[in-house]
Amino acid sequence: MGKTHPESVVCFPFKNEDAKVFIKNIKEALEHPRVAEVICVGYEKDECYKAVESAVPFLQKEKGKRVHLILQKKLGEKRSGKGDAMNTALTFFINQTPYGRIHFYDADIVTFNREWITKTEEKLDQNFQVARCSFPKAPTDGMITWNITRCGFAYNWPETFLPEIEQPLGGELAFRREIAQELIKDRWVLKYSDWGIDTAYMLAFCQYKAPIYEVYIRNGKLHKLYGQLTDLYTMLVECFTIIQENQSVKIDTNGILYHKDSIDIASVPQEIQHKKAFDVEGTVSLLRENWSPQEKELLDTFPAKIREGMLALQKSGTVDVRFMDPETWYEVYGVLLRYFDQKSLIWSDLLFHLWVARVLNHTFYFASKGFRQAMESLYRMVTSFEHRRRKGPLIRGQIAA
Ligand SMILES: Nc1nc2c(ncn2[C@@H]2O[C@H](COP(=O)(O)OP(=O)(O)O)[C@@H](O)[C@H]2O)c(=O)[nH]1
Ligand SMILES: [Mg+2]
């Protein structure tokens, strides 16, 4: 295929999104000269699916390009979620199309535009096999990314570049066909049919020694927001589970090319710097609610400061989360990696309560001081995880329970 011909496919996984936003994004992708076809992978035939279905003939006619609307297949062993959707798209891409690259974007992004495609394409034209997007985010957004995935990467793989990846859970990325071919042959990747998929792809890219570039998209990703943090319960548990399950996997990123655009905090739009990512008042009460006697007993697994801090939250009139600072979170993380039981709902509830305490600690004592302080504390937390693990008394392998 010549260089001037369209040569990429764009995939949007979707589950009951606002169809207007989604259809605008499909159009935006179709208008890009590098994009040959679009694949939309739905969870089920919901309202959004039906709206897209009726728009497809017009979109195809108007833009002169194919739009495939398919349902996700059950390919993995975990809950059938976004992972199955992405892997269904990869299978379609390899088996039904001849194109050289595949892009993924979330369907609910309000600020999506063709520049995102251009920027990732440019990196794939160079030496990179994978191009990821990162964005400026509100100071209390990305709380699973920071406290679970980036901390987990630092804890498990401190000698690699994994902890430097800005937004490992971001669904905006593009890669070459040879990477897609590897992924669909990889049973370990296919297993992660749930929210673990982004982490699975990231770990797999390292195993394949794929050169990676992270482009920084200044206009930011505005998308459907959350209410209370309970909306994130499943995502939290699934994103932690993949980190725990793979803690003894060896990853060596020496010699793999990895670059990212530099990030200038001063240039982050004011709207993003001051945005509230979740409902703080509603979340405070979550800390006091839903504690079963069994969950309280599990607190005995933790050091006294953490156990007492968490127990006090259930009693006191005012919520005091001062104890759950980034250094204490390191202690929590170590215990969770060792003892968390993914089959136990009680453990999942406890993970949730601990994480909410950390998120509120960040919100009250760091994010409240301003955007710069909020970001600096998060970067410092990940770096401190890395340093403590490098210097720690345990060598990797011993910690794997
Ligand atoms: N097909 C499919 N798409 C999903 C599923 N879960 C989430 N999505 C889509 O994946 C993208 C990211 O999900 P979203 O809820 O926005 O996650 P967040 O932005 O990380 O909070 C969106 O386009 C969702 O519609 C799923 O189970 N199946
Ligand atoms: Mg979203």
pLDDT in tens, 339-349: 999 999 999 99
**Four-CA torsion 121, 183, 194, 111, nearest 10 degrees:** 0
Taking 80 as the threshold, does the pLDDT of residue 94 lie above it?
yes
C-beta 72 within 6 A of ligand 1: yes
The class that CATH gives domain 8-273 is: alpha beta
pLDDT band, very low/low/confident/very high, at 191 (cuts 50, 70, 90): very high
Could you say which ligand is closest to the alpha carbon of residue 110? 2
User: Could you give phi then psi for residue 258, rounded to 5 degrees?
Assistant: -140, 120
The pLDDT score that the predictor gives to residue 317 is 77
Among 42-46, 84-88, 169-173, 276-280, the least confident range: 276-280
The pLDDT score that the predictor gives to residue 194 is 98
What three-state secondary structure class fits 181? helix
How far is 135 from 171, CA to CA, in rounded Å?
A: 12
Q: Which CA distances in Å does 28 have to 24, 114, 195, 260, 274?
A: 6, 6, 26, 25, 28
User: What is the number of the ligand 1 atom nearest to the C-alpha of 41?
Assistant: 1
Ligand 1 centroid, distance to 81 Cα (angstroms):
8
Contact 41, 105 (CB under 8 A): no
Average per-residue pLDDT in the chain?
94
Query: Which residue's C-alpha comes closest to atom 6 of ligand 1?
Result: 82
Query: Which residue's C-alpha comes closest to atom 11 of ligand 1?
Result: 106
pLDDT average, residue stretch 288-310: 96
Centre a 10 Å sphere on the Cβ of residue 341 and count the other Cβ atoms it contains: 11
Tell me which amino acid residue 133 is.
C
The model's pTM is 0.95
C-beta 15 within 6 A of ligand 1: yes
The pLDDT score that the predictor gives to residue 310 is 97
How far is 299 from 139, CA to CA, in rounded Å?
A: 29
User: What is the number of the ligand 1 atom nearest to the C-alpha of 108?
Assistant: 23
pLDDT average, residue stretch 346-357: 98
Ligand 1 centroid, distance to 15 Cα (angstroms):
6
How far is 131 from 119, CA to CA, in rounded Å?
A: 9
C-beta 81 within 6 A of ligand 1: yes
- Please report which helix (H) or strand (E) contains residue 35, including its range: strand 35-42
pLDDT average, residue stretch 135-153: 95
Instruction: Summarize pLDDT for 115-129 with one digit per residue, the tens.
Output: 999 999 999 999 899
User: What is the number of the ligand 1 atom nearest to the C-alpha of 14?
Assistant: 25
User: What is the number of the ligand 1 atom nearest to the C-alpha of 85?
Assistant: 1
**C-alpha angle 358/360/361, rounded to 5°?**
60
Could you say which ligand is closest to the alpha carbon of residue 232? 1
Could you say which ligand is closest to the alpha carbon of residue 105? 1
Ligand 2 centroid, distance to 3 Cα (angstroms):
33
> 351's torsion region: left (phi>0), alpha (psi -120 to 50) or beta?
alpha
User: Where would I find the beta strands (DSSP E) of 119-167?
Assistant: 130-134
C-beta 107 within 6 A of ligand 1: yes
C-beta 105 within 6 A of ligand 1: no
How far is 232 from 252, CA to CA, in rounded Å?
A: 31
Closest CA to 151 of 397, 373, 351: 351
Contact 354, 314 (CB under 8 A): no
The pLDDT score that the predictor gives to residue 401 is 35
Taking 90 as the threshold, does the pLDDT of residue 280 lie above it?
no
User: What is the number of the ligand 1 atom nearest to the C-alpha of 84?
Assistant: 28
Taking 60 as the threshold, does the pLDDT of residue 91 lie above it?
yes
Contact 360, 283 (CB under 8 A): yes
C-beta 171 within 6 A of ligand 1: yes
User: Scanning the structure block, which residue is given the tokens 């006619």?
Assistant: 61
The pLDDT score that the predictor gives to residue 398 is 43
How far is 110 from 158, CA to CA, in rounded Å?
A: 35
User: Could you give phi then psi for residue 213, rounded to 5 degrees?
Assistant: -125, 140
Q: Where in the chain is CATH 3.90.550.10?
A: 8-273
**For 197-202, which contacts have Cβ atoms below 8 Å and span 24 or more sequence positions?**
197/81, 197/82, 197/83, 197/86, 197/87, 198/168, 198/169, 198/170, 198/171, 199/149, 199/168, 199/169, 199/239, 199/242, 199/243, 200/83, 200/242, 201/86, 201/173, 202/162, 202/165, 202/168
pLDDT average, residue stretch 54-70: 98
Task: Give 270 or 246, the one with higher predicted confidence.
Answer: 246
Taking 80 as the threshold, does the pLDDT of residue 4 lie above it?
no
**Helices 280-288 and 345-365, packing angle to 10 deg:** 140
Residue 270 exposed, middle or buried by CB count within 10 Å (0-12, 13-18, 19+) = exposed
User: What is the number of the ligand 1 atom nearest to the C-alpha of 105?
Assistant: 23
Could you say which ligand is closest to the alpha carbon of residue 48? 1
Distance of CA 117 to the CA centre of its chain: 19
- Please report which helix (H) or strand (E) contains residue 351, including its range: helix 345-365
DSSP-assigned letter for residue 110:
S
C-beta 319 within 6 A of ligand 1: no
Which tokens belong to 221?
């990703």
**Do the strands 101-104 and 173-176 form a parallel or antiparallel pair, or are they unpaired?**
antiparallel
Which tokens belong to 368?
């409240």
C-beta 14 within 6 A of ligand 1: yes
Query: Which residue's C-alpha comes closest to atom 5 of ligand 1?
Result: 82
C-beta 41 within 6 A of ligand 1: yes
How far is 72 from 81, CA to CA, in rounded Å?
A: 9
Could you say which ligand is closest to the alpha carbon of residue 12? 1
